Amino acid sequence: MITYVASRAIQFVLALIVASVVVFALMSILPGNAAQVALGTNATPDAVAALEAQYGLDQPPIIRYVNWVVGMLGGDFGTSYVTGAAITPVIVGSVQVTAILVIAAIVLAIVIAVPLGTFAALEQRNWIGVTISALSQIGIAVPNFLAAIILVIIFSLTLGWFPSQGWMAPVEGFGGFLLRLVLPVVSLALVQAAILTRYVRSAVLDVMREDYIRTARAKGLTRTKALFVHGLRNAAIPVITVAGVQLATLLVGAVIIEQIFVIPGIGSELVRAVANRDLVTVQGIVMVLVLLVLIINLIVDVLYPIVDPRIRNAS
Amino acid sequence: MSEIPGTTSAGDASVDRGSRTKLRLNASMIIGAILILLIVALALVSFVWTPYGPSAVDPAARLQPSSPEHPFGTDKFGRDTLTWIMYGARITLMVGIVAVGIAVLIGTPIGIIAAVFAQYPWGVWLSAVIMRANDILLAFPALLLAIVFAAVYQPGTGPAMVAVGIAAIPGFARVARSGTMQVLGSEYVRAAKASNRTAPAIAIVHVLPNIAGMVIVQASVAFAISVLAEAGLSFLGLGTQAPVPSWGRMLQESQQFLSTQPLLALWPGLFIALAVLGFNLLGDGLRDRFDPKMEARGNG
């Protein structure tokens, strides 16, 4: 178990290093360079040279890379060439907003998907089960931004229940915060719930065919009871993996949802930085997103053996 | 990371020896194929005929609802929405074809090579390195990679296609690797080895035909993802640029008219969803066909 966790941790660090090199290389090996990009194509060579000197861009790439990484390790993502402001506060502030959205969305997705998927599996041959499967197939095909637009048309523009955009921090007013949270979170969660429902259904179907369920049934348990007592824990294994992957997907999916609802999350900052040609900020935000994705993967990997003794004993 | 959300990877599918037998049809496959054919037909017809020109503006007929003259209504400049949907189908399909093409052509050989290397004592570590690199790439979601590309290069359809393609490589590498591993362990490959066939010959004669089914399933799934990614990027303004018609951008531009003309959002949204649904269903249907394990489960 300890070796297993250690090997995953080493993989995590390696992946992070490789990712940082790739992100840095992509941003540095530019036609032109960051200073040129920030100033635009009309900038004079002198102005470019001055900006390069100001931010140390005239140094060799290796040194710039090391400086960048060392800075990040100390929590300093550097200074934007475009706005001249420090990047770290921007990232810290916006990532909290995104975290609220994403965590609320995955929780909602699980709350919807686990009962629905289990039900769809138990009622597999029934019209209810078939309907749930069909609906989840359609749900998967609806991109979150389309879900958002439909929800805005219905619940904001027509019924007037929720604001169509905007954000309020919980400390500014909890009611207002919740009111503005509903539509973005539901738009993010619906698609993931549809995907998760299918995994839950297939995981439960797999489990129902296991010998231990048959044994439990033979001992007199009903199908549902056998599933709840013996099956759900095993069905949880693939579901946890998928939910982890989904959490990562949601982080990126939130980029679009934040744009639609004008939410000051990390996705909005990323899109703004791209539009401003603010490469240092893009670089920092992408690294944070990759870091979060890798952390989520690591947690899923470590949770695995805890839920599944077969993996624990094998390693 | 084992699977791409929104999809089920074909990675664990066992090799179906009978993949070259007659293709049996199922409901998912038929509905999926019909939806895809509809989109393909829209794109093809747009080359010879559209109701109006893509840039034909009619200020008198702005933001119209559906009518005999404009079946899908008109946008803020009075342009015909049906025409734009037809043109948009081209971009959607082109991005999918190029992105999936990149991923198949690079990912599949990587997976096969990784599996073949793992057969030799000297290649085990190399195989492990390849697959680890693959896992790292998997940590980059398509949309994020595409946003990075849009930041580094100019935002546009080209960088979007390449980025989505690169992000899809790991899926194909995994599928190809697990399929190849199974083929290489089979009796007939051992027989081929015994008769001194070289590794490349074995890969081409025995491996490729046997993993083709799984690769096709993965391609269908990756196509659905690329449709979503292109739409999302264009929605953010980082994909297909004006004035080229794209469903994602139509949806984005419709946002300001949600209260006056919600139809404007409905049409591109509907077609994005239909395209994704079509490729997902086709992938599901093909998986049922190629993976015997799934058949016992019904339409799992």
- pLDDT tens for residues A272-299? 998 888 888 998 999 999 899 889 888 8
Measured distance CA(B43)–CA(A29) in Å, rounded: 37
Q: Does B254 touch chain A (CB under 8 A)?
A: yes
Q: Of A30-34, A188-192, A295-299, which has the strongest mean pLDDT? A: A188-192
Residue from the list A141, A150, A202 with its beta carbon closest to the beta carbon of B300: A202
Minimal CA–CA distance to A291: which of A69, A25, A130?
A69
CB-based contact A145 B281, cutoff 8 Å: no
Distance between A311 CA and the closest CA of chain B, angstroms: 15
| Percentage, residues of chain B above pLDDT 70 | 88
For A51, the token pair is 């900006």
Pick B175 or A34 by higher pLDDT. Answer: B175
**A27 and B CB contact within 8 Å:** yes
d(C-alpha B217, C-alpha B11), whole Å: 10
B236–A259 C-beta distance less than 8 A = yes
Report the candidate in B172, B171, B227 with the shortest Cα–Cα distance to residue B36: B227
Q: List C-alpha distances in Å: B241 to B165, B182, B234, B249.
A: 19, 45, 7, 8
Cross-chain Cβ contact B272/A277 below 8 Å:
no
Contact B15, B115 (CB under 8 A): no
B237·A18 Cβ contact <8 A: no
Distance from CA of B239 to the nearest CA of A (A): 12
Distance from CA of B154 to the nearest CA of A (A): 10
**Residues contacting B174, CB < 8 A, separation 6+:** B9, B11, B111, B131, B134
Mutate to test the interface with A, among B134, B143, B228, B263 (most CBs of A within 10 A): B228
> CA–CA separation, A136 vs A141, rounded Å?
9
Of A43-47, B154-158, B209-213, which range is least confident? A43-47
Question: Which of B28, B39, B154, B255 to probe the A interface (max A CBs under 10 A)?
Answer: B255
Give B202→chain A minimum CA distance, Å: 33
**Chain B residue nearest residue A194, CA to CA:** B6
Q: Label residue A230 exposed, middle or buried (CB < 10 Å: 0-12, 13-18, 19+).
A: middle
Residue B22 has pLDDT above 60, yes or no: no
Q: Is B139 in contact with A294 (Cβ distance < 8 A)?
A: yes
**A-contacting residues of B 115-134, CB under 8 Å?**
132-133
Which tokens go with B236?
A: 């953010």
3-state secondary structure of A86: strand
Q: What pLDDT score does B90 carry?
A: 94
Place of tokens 């998912």: B28
Interface ipTM above 0.90: no
pLDDT: is A234 or A247 the higher one? A247
Which residues in chain B have Cβ-Cβ distances shorter than 8 Å to A300?
1
Query: Which of B4, B26, B134, B140 best tests the A interface by mutation, with the highest count of A CBs <10 A?
Result: B140
Give the 3-state secondary structure of residue A10. Answer: helix
DSSP B119-172: TSGGGHHHHHHHHHHHHHHHTS-HHHHHHHHHHHS-SSHHHHHHHHHHHHHHHH
Burial class from Cβ neighbours inside 10 Å (0-12, 13-18, 19+) for residue A179 reads middle
Which pLDDT tens digit goes with each residue over B64-76?
A: 888 888 888 888 8
The one-letter amino acid at A131: T
Tell whether the model's pLDDT for residue A187 goes beyond 70.
yes
CB contact under 8 A, B231 and A143: yes
Query: Binning pLDDT at 50, 70 and 90, where does residue A309 land?
Result: low
CB count within 10 Å of CB A223 equals 13
